[in-house]
Every structure is written in C-alpha cells, then in structure tokens.
C-alpha cells in the first residue's frame, strides 16, 4: 500500500517508486545526463522538461561538469551520485536504496551519508535505506525496522531500537550488548529486582506487560557500565583483557558464573587502562536505570 493505493499488483514499471541499486546499475552506453534523464524519457515527458529536470538533478548531486562523460569514466563516488540523481529525477513517492554505500571506502561512505541526509531533506522524498551497517542505520534514520529472516522484529526510532530493544536479536544486532540471565525476585512500578546467576541482585526496568516472574535476560550496554573498586561494584569479576581504542577502552571481564561482560569506558588521559590491571578482581558499576529486562 502506498498513499492508499495497492501497488503490489502493479508491474514494477508502473510503481511510483525508484531504486538506487547496490551495484548502481548505470547504463554504460549512455552519458551521465542520459542516465539521469532515462526515467523521465520513459515516462514520455517533453524534452524541455527532461532537460530542465536533468540540469536540476546534476546541480543537486554536484555533477554538472561531468554530464557528458560516459559512466565508465567517473569514480565510484560519482557513479553513486549519478545513480541517486537518476532515481530521484522522476520524483518518486518513495526512494529505495539497496545498500547503496557498501561499495565505497570508509571516508567516501561518511561523506555520502551526509550527502544523502542533505538530499533527503532537500527533496522531502521518503527514503527506504537498506543496510547491514548498524552504525549507518542509527545515524541516518528517522525510523528503523530491524528485520531477520524476512520478518520485521522491531520498528522504532534509532533511540528506541538502541536503548529499548524489544527482543534479543535486536539487542544483539544493533551495537554491542551484555546479556545476563537471572530470576525476578520482586517488581514494583516497572522496576524489578533481579537475582543474577552470577550472584548479586540488581534493579532492572521492564516494559509494561512483560512477565515479572521467573527467569529473564537482562541487557546492559557496555557504555552504561564502569569498572570500579571491587566493593563499590554492582557485580564483580576478573579483568581478562583490555583493548585500547583511542577514545575508549574495552574491558573484558569474566563474571563468577563464567559469563563474559564487556565494559566500555572513556579514556581519561594518562596511561590507558585507567589503573586497572589484567588478572585483578574488579567491580562493575551499572548506571542507574540502564539495565533492562528483555522479552525473549
């Protein structure tokens, strides 16, 4: 259904939807301008209108100097922009982007992400952006649908998806997460006391309607926890490894029941590791309100 019209029954060439293909699929026997004008030409638009729209599109994607080049004579990023312009030229109601940035190198991808955002705002067209890059999904979207095996598992804002994952797959797929199993002891006002399998009892929030009894899984994002002195932590374990990432350090801690827990902590200058030694027993403090009970 699109704007109240069932388009699944229409053949592809009658749907008001255009696609940016993963491989771009630019026509090698046409120039940049001919590629961009192809959709309009197929719709039977008058030549003057096509020329005007092509010029507008060339300007939008900043490819004016290249308009008479063959598509084999421009770089990958430029091909990407031509593919975008070609798909946008017929003013589709919805633009599908099938992993459009996966063929670009990191730096170019970052530039194109910003470019895409700009184009989306300027044209006001709905973009449906397929990606396997969770970071890309989080930074570019207004709404995310996480799919697995052909089913939509959760639809929501990037915030919702990241901070309030509904199911284990979503929590695991988007970003890094710690899963701790335990049993609910008591609940009140959406806050449950959970006795973790590794020993201690912690507070975790649960969505309405979630079971507040029996065995549950608690998720804690690595950046919502901090290493601390053994006695101050909510949970404890042995520091197994510390991986330095520049802006922050990832601490891999083995809990008493054998579960691995990762803590991501910002570096505070000085010598890395913030004074924690591998092999030492450490405590982990969890930011208030960040532990969540998951629907399994």
Partner 1 sequence: MMDAPLSPAALVAAENDKAVSRRSRFLTLPALAIVFVFGVLPLVLICIYSFLKPYQNGGVLWQFSTDAYLNFLFQRDIFDDTLQFAPDFLIIYGRSIWYALFTTVVCLLLGFPTAYFMATRPPEQRNWWVLLITIPFWSNLLVRTVAIMFIIRDEGLINDALIYFHIIDKPIVMLYTDFAIILGLLYSFLPFMILPLYSSLEKMDFRLVEAGYDLYASRWQVLKRIIIPLAKPGIVAGSLLVFIPALGAYVPPLILGGGRHLMIGDLIAQQFGSGRNWPLGSAQALILMAAVLVALYFYSRNEAGPVKHG
Chain residues that interact with partner 1, rule: CB under 8 A:
11-14, 17-19, 21, 23, 25-29, 38-39, 42-43, 72, 86-87, 90
Q: How many CB atoms lie within 10 A of CB 203?
A: 15
Q: Are 32 and 74 in contact, with CB atoms under 8 Å apart?
A: yes
* CA separation for the pair 239, 290 (Å, rounded): 22
CA–CA separation, 77 and 89 (whole Å): 18
Closest approach of partner 1 to the CB of residue 221, in Å: 39
How many angstroms separate the CA atoms of 30 and 41, rounded? 13
Distance between CA 161 and CA 146 in Å, rounded?
8
Nearer to partner 1, 42 or 114 (CB): 42
Tokens of 51: 């020329």
Q: Which is nearer to partner 1, 43 or 213 (CB)?
A: 43
77 alpha-carbon distance from chain centroid: 21
Q: Which is nearer to partner 1, 25 or 203 (CB)?
A: 25
Pairing relation of β-strands 17-20 and 94-98? parallel
Minimum distance of partner 1 from residue 129's CB (angstroms)? 16
16 vs 158 by CB, closer to partner 1? 16
- Rounded to a whole number of angstroms, the minimum distance from the CB of residue 238 to partner 1 is 53
In this structure, is the dihedral angle defined by the CA atoms of residues 130, 110, 27 and 92, taken in order, positive or negative? Answer: positive
Q: Based on CB atoms, which residue is closest to partner 1, 17 or 210?
A: 17
Which one, 30 or 191, has the nearer CB to partner 1?
30
Q: To the nearest whole angstrom, how small is the minimum distance from the Cβ of residue 131 to partner 1?
A: 19
User: How many other CB atoms sit within 10 Å of the CB of residue 253?
Assistant: 26
Q: Quote the least distance from Cβ 115 to partner 1, whole Å.
A: 21
Q: How far is the CB of 25 from partner 1 (least distance, A)?
A: 4
């Amino acid at each position: 259904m699109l704007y109240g019209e069932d388009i699944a029954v229409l053949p592809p060439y009658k749907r008001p939807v255009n696609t940016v293909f993963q491989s771009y699929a630019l026509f090698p026997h046409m120039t940049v301008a001919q590629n961009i004008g192809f959709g309009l030409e197929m719709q039977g638009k008058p030549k003057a209108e096509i020329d005007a729209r092509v010029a507008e599109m060339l300007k939008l994607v900043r490819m004016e100097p290249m308009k008479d080049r063959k598509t084999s004579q421009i770089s990958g990023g430029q091909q990407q922009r031509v593919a975008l312009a070609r798909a946008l030229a017929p003013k589709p109601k919805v633009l599908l982007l099938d992993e459009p940035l996966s063929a670009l190198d990191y730096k170019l991808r970052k530039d194109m992400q910003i470019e895409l955002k700009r184009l989306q705002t300027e044209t006001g067209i709905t973009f449906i952006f397929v990606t396997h890059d969770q970071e890309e999904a989080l930074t570019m979207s207004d709404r995310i649908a996480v799919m697995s095996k052909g089913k939509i598992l959760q639809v929501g804002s990037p915030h919702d998806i990241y901070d309030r994952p509904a199911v284990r797959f979503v929590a695991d797929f988007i970003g890094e997460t710690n899963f701790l199993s335990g049993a609910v002891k008591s609940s009140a006002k959406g806050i449950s006391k959970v006795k973790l399998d590794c020993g201690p009892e912690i507070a975790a929030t649960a969505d309405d309607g979630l079971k507040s009894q029996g065995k549950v899984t608690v998720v804690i994002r690595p950046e919502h926890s901090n290493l601390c002195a053994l006695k101050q932590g909510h949970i404890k374990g042995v520091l197994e490894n510390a991986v330095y990432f520049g802006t922050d350090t990832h601490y891999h801690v083995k809990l008493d029941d054998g579960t691995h827990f990762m803590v991501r902590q910002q570096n505070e200058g000085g010598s890395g590791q913030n004074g924690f030694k591998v092999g030492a027993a450490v405590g982990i403090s969890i930011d208030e309100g960040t532990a969540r009970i998951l629907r399994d």
